[in-house]
């Protein structure tokens, strides 16, 4: 019985994710599902990218959190359209939430839509939102062993951002081990190192996103 209910939920999500994907493709929208642990720098990365894009991209943001509008307020302060979703305890966004948010965002053709998923390195990887790009952010203080432990997240990523590289001198982070762990799961993903504090690597990440075709 339990299995049947789970299947129904997943089926409904897949159907809505497909509708979202069709919509994004038709309008040439780059929808980026950003998945990472709490505090790894998802919002900081979005803020830095908005700055780096300047007028080269039209950006809108969906913010997913269990509670609060803290992150949406940060995006709003840059004058970008933003919708905050509070899951009220749920550990991930789903395709229906994105559909409802997108309905009220009035996205322009060719826009970049950042979807900041709930901070969690497990649940979000199981729920397709209809996004075109899966971005996983790992950060130096979390440690180099994360790809070995949270495999599904790293397996599915189109791009992996290693953030907080400014903290490298203070943390025992084995870069070689991190890359080896990622490559054992995912040979194709782009890996870009950034520091949202110093801005290092942000232009490279912005360029990578701008040149993508959907």
Ligand X SMILES: Nc1nc2c(ncn2[C@@H]2O[C@H](COP(=O)(O)OP(=O)(O)OP(=O)(O)O)[C@@H](O)[C@H]2O)c(=O)[nH]1
Per DSSP, 125 falls in state G
Q: Is 38 in the site for ligand X (CB under 6 A)?
A: yes
Chain residues 41-60 in contact with ligand X, contact rule CB under 6 A: 41-44
Nearest alpha carbon to residue 79 among 117, 101, 118, 53:
53
Coil, strand or helix at 192: strand
CA distances from 176 to 145, 181, 188 (A): 11, 9, 17
Chain residues 65-94 in contact with ligand X, contact rule CB under 6 A: 71
Q: How far is the CB of 196 from ligand X (least distance, A)?
A: 4
Nearest alpha carbon to residue 75 among 95, 45, 102:
45
Chain residues 119-158 in contact with ligand X, contact rule CB under 6 A: 119
Q: Which two tokens stand for residue 165?
A: 């590289």
- Name which of 18 and 38 has its Cβ closer to ligand X: 38
Dihedral of the alpha carbons of 203, 71, 63, 193, in degrees to the nearest 10: 30
Q: Is 201 in the site for ligand X (CB under 6 A)?
A: no
Which partner in ligand X, Mg ion, none is near 147 (CB below 5 to 8 A by kind)?
none
> Which among 63-71, 97-105, 166-174, 205-213 is the span making contact with Mg ion, rule CB under 5 A?
63-71
- Name which of 16 and 37 has its Cβ closer to ligand X: 37
Binding map of Mg ion across residues 23-42, x = CB under 5 A, - = no contact: -------------------x
Q: How far is the CB of 42 from Mg ion (least distance, A)?
A: 5
Which partner in ligand X, Mg ion, none is near 196 (CB below 5 to 8 A by kind)?
ligand X
Tell me which residue has tokens 């070689």: 176
Kindly tell me which residue out of 16, 64, 71, 129 binds Mg ion, with binding defined by CB under 5 A: 71
Residue 28 CA to its chain's centroid (Å): 18
Per DSSP, 112 falls in state E
Kindly tell me which residue out of 17, 113, 196, 206 binds ligand X, with binding defined by CB under 6 A: 196
Q: Is 33 in the site for ligand X (CB under 6 A)?
A: no
Kindly tell me which residue out of 20, 33, 40, 43 binds Mg ion, with binding defined by CB under 5 A: 43
Please list, in sequence order, all residues whose beta carbon lies within 8 angstroms of the beta carbon of residue 82, skipping any fewer than 6 positions away: 60, 61, 62, 63, 72, 75, 76
Q: Alpha-carbon distance 179 to 145, whole Å?
A: 10
- What residues line the site for Mg ion (CB under 5 A)? 42-43, 71
Q: Which residues bind ligand X (CB under 6 A)?
A: 36, 38-44, 71, 119, 163-164, 166-167, 195-197
């Amino acid at each position: 019985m339990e299995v049947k209910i789970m299947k129904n939920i997943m089926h409904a999500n897949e159907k809505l994710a497909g509708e979202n994907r069709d919509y994004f493709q038709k309008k040439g929208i780059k929808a980026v599902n950003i998945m990472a642990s709490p505090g790894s720098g998802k919002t900081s990365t979005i803020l830095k990218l908005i700055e780096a894009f300047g007028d080269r991209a039209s950006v809108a943001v969906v913010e997913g959190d269990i509670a609060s509008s803290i992150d949406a307020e940060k995006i709003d302060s840059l004058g970008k359209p933003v919708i905050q979703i509070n899951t009220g305890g749920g550990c991930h966004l789903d395709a229906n939430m994105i559909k409802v948010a997108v309905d009220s965002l009035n996205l322009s053709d060719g826009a970049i839509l950042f979807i900041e998923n709930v901070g969690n390195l497990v649940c979000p990887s199981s729920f397709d939102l209809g996004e075109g790009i899966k971005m996983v952010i790992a950060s130096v203080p979390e440690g180099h062993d994360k790809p070995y432990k949270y495999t599904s997240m790293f397996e599915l990523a189109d791009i992996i951002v290693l953030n907080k590289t400014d903290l490298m001198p203070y943390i025992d982070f084995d870069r070689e081990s991190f890359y080896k762990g990622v490559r054992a799961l995912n040979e194709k993903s782009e890996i870009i190192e950034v520091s949202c504090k110093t801005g290092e690597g942000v232009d490279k990440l912005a360029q990578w996103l701008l040149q993508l075709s959907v």
